[in-house]
């Protein structure tokens, strides 16, 4: 489990596709450079940035949000929630939720602790995939650009994205991300019966 040091937070953004009973989540850490004491305000900023930059990448049948944020301040962890939701901006015939675009996150920290990933279900049309799971180049480029624009927007709001480490240490700021050219499956999403 990730440790959330004072001055940092964990954002969780739910994604719900119409007709599916299960919710997918995009989660990431943030550093509270804006020194916001109100986690609801911080969650609203994160939600707005995510919707503006990443929202157009998702299937229009996906409801994005509201963001939930656990912000650790000197008085202890404070939960907060954004007030808005938005639909994705792409008319897509999406693959199943366990087939997702994968963003590889990079920091200035060397080694495994300096790398992270983010899965984006329902963010690609099946026509943008080949039979081997290869992602069309235009989709890779547009998703990479959207993610890096998200990093800039979060930084501009004083809530830069970070990697929250499972052990001790200061979280590393995410400086860039790249969408992989092959879809990824997050096996933990598969329910065993």
Question: Which tens digits make up the pLDDT trace of 116-173?
Answer: 999 999 998 888 888 888 899 999 999 999 999 999 999 999 999 999 977 657 899 9
Closest CA to 10 of 167, 173, 162: 162
Q: Which two tokens stand for residue 33?
A: 């450079």
pLDDT band for position 179 (50/70/90)? very high
pLDDT at 190 over 60: no
Between CA 91 and CA 89 the distance in angstroms is 7
In the chain, count H helices and then E strands: 2, 12
What is this structure's pTM?
0.90
Distance of CA 114 to the CA centre of its chain: 17
Residue 28 to residues 82, 90, 126, 164, 174, Cα–Cα distance (Å)? 15, 23, 26, 8, 10
Between CA 8 and CA 4 the distance in angstroms is 6
- The pLDDT, as a whole number, for residue 111 is 82
Question: Which tens digits make up the pLDDT trace of 101-116?
Answer: 999 999 998 887 888 9
pLDDT at 77 over 80: yes
- The pLDDT, as a whole number, for residue 168 is 57
pLDDT at 14 over 90: yes
Q: Give backbone dihedrals phi and psi of 84, rounded to 5 degrees, phi first.
A: -115, 160
- Name residue 118's beta-bridge partners: 103
Between CA 81 and CA 101 the distance in angstroms is 26
- Whether the CB-CB separation of 80 and 23 falls below 8 Å is answered with no
pLDDT band for position 78 (50/70/90)? very high
Mean of pLDDT over the chain: 89
- The pLDDT, as a whole number, for residue 149 is 97
- The pLDDT, as a whole number, for residue 154 is 97
- The pLDDT, as a whole number, for residue 68 is 97
pLDDT at 189 over 80: no
- The pLDDT, as a whole number, for residue 193 is 53
- The pLDDT, as a whole number, for residue 2 is 63
pLDDT band for position 44 (50/70/90)? very high
């Amino acid at each position: 489990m990730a440790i959330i040091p004072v001055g940092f937070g964990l954002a969780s953004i739910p994604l719900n596709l119409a007709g599916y009973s299960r919710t997918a989540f995009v989660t990431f850490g943030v550093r509270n450079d804006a020194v916001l004491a109100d986690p609801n305000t911080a969650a609203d900023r994160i939600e707005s940035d995510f919707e503006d930059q990443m929202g157009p990448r998702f299937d229009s049948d996906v409801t994005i949000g509201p963001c939930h944020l656990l912000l650790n301040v000197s008085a202890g962890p404070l939960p907060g929630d954004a007030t808005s939701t938005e639909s994705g901006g792409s008319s897509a015939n999406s693959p199943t939720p366990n087939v997702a675009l994968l963003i590889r996150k990079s920091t200035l920290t060397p080694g495994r602790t300096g790398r992270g990933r983010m899965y984006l279900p329902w963010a690609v049309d099946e026509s943008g995939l080949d039979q081997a799971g290869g992602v069309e180049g235009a989709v890779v480029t547009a998703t990479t650009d959207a993610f890096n624009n998200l990093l800039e927007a979060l930084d501009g709001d004083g809530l830069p994205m970070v990697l929250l480490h499972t052990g001790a240490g200061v979280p590393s700021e995410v400086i860039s991300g790249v969408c992989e050219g092959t879809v990824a499956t997050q096996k933990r999403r598969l329910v065993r019966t």
